[in-house]
């Protein structure tokens, strides 16, 4: 409430000194909208973002970075309010501006296409989400540096849900490589992606190939976590499941014994 009072007072003072249509006023209106959004006042935030947008367009033109930033704010409000189609329209406007200003293969275009993919996930339209994530990754692969892990993870997950486990496998392998390159081998997120990679093998009836990845995931968890952590127990369970499915009884019994020892508090 104090922040709202402060920005309201600042806004009135600026309007009295500068008039209603200046970039300084627009940015203050935008900041005031940010506060309303953070407080969950979506209608107030939306009204203020629209006001800021019109002022910015008037002062800076239709394709300025300030205009894009406010369009992003508007899209986020729309998503939060459950108005996904309006959010998609805002994001499409951003794509159009950025393609015109920076070219079709700019990383900022890829970021916005991924945001559209996120909206389609919320709408449970997985094939459309997949298309936008694929476009985003295609652009990112023309740039220096690795692709965005989050976008790759979303794409891999969608491939799995749509039953395309071969493509999911390829994506999860790429994510593992990126995470290892950036964080090293003993990084908990690597273990979690190895689990997903193992699932892709199991779903393709290649369970024997999943074992090395599940064992490596378990090793990483043992290096990163307390010996009785739930994630370690879950890793052991996954290994036992695969061993059982392959009739590898001795290996399964060994894993079960380790699981039970941890549950009972015995040192291994």
Listed range (60-64, 100-104, 161-165, 261-265) with the worst mean pLDDT: 261-265
Does the structure show a pLDDT above 80 at 3? Answer: no
Q: What is the mean pLDDT of the chain?
A: 94
Percent of the chain having pLDDT more than 70? 99
The model scores a pTM over 0.85: yes
Label residue 46 exposed, middle or buried (CB < 10 Å: 0-12, 13-18, 19+): buried
User: What is the model's pLDDT at position 42?
Assistant: 97
pLDDT in tens, 149-183: 999 999 999 999 999 999 999 999 999 999 999 99
User: What is the model's pLDDT at position 1?
Assistant: 63
pLDDT in tens, 25-35: 898 899 899 99
Q: What one-character DSSP code corresponds to residue 246?
A: T
DSSP string, 83-119: -HHHHHHHHHHHHHHHHHHH-TT-HHHHHHHHHHHHH
pLDDT in tens, 35-52: 999 999 999 999 999 999
């Amino acid at each position: 409430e104090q922040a709202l009072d402060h920005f309201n007072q600042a806004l009135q003072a600026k309007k009295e000194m500068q008039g209603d249509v200046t970039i300084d006023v627009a940015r203050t209106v935008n900041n005031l909208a940010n506060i309303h959004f953070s407080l969950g006042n979506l209608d107030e935030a939306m009204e203020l973002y629209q006001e800021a947008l019109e002022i910015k367009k008037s002062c800076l033109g239709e394709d300025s970075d300030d205009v894009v930033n406010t369009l992003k704010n508007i899209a986020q409000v729309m998503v939060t309010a459950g108005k996904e189609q309006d959010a998609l329209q805002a994001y499409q406007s951003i794509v159009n501006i950025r393609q015109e200003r920076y070219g079709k293969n700019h990383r900022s275009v890829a970021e916005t296409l991924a945001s559209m993919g996120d909206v389609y996930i919320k709408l449970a339209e997985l094939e459309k989400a997949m298309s936008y994530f694929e476009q985003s990754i295609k652009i990112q692969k023309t740039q220096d540096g690795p692709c965005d892990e989050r976008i790759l993870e979303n794409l891999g997950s969608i491939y799995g849900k749509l039953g395309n486990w071969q493509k999911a496998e390829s994506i999860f392998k790429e994510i593992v490589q990126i995470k290892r390159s950036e964080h090293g081998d003993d990084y908990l997120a690597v273990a979690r992606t190895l689990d997903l990679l193992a699932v892709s093998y199991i779903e393709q009836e290649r369970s024997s190939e999943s074992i090395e990845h599940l064992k490596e995931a378990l090793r990483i968890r043992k290096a990163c976590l307390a010996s009785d952590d739930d994630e370690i127990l879950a890793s052991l369970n996954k290994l036992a499941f695969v061993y059982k499915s392959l009739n590898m009884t001795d290996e399964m019994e060994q894993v079960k014994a380790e699981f039970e020892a941890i549950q009972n508090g015995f040192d291994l």
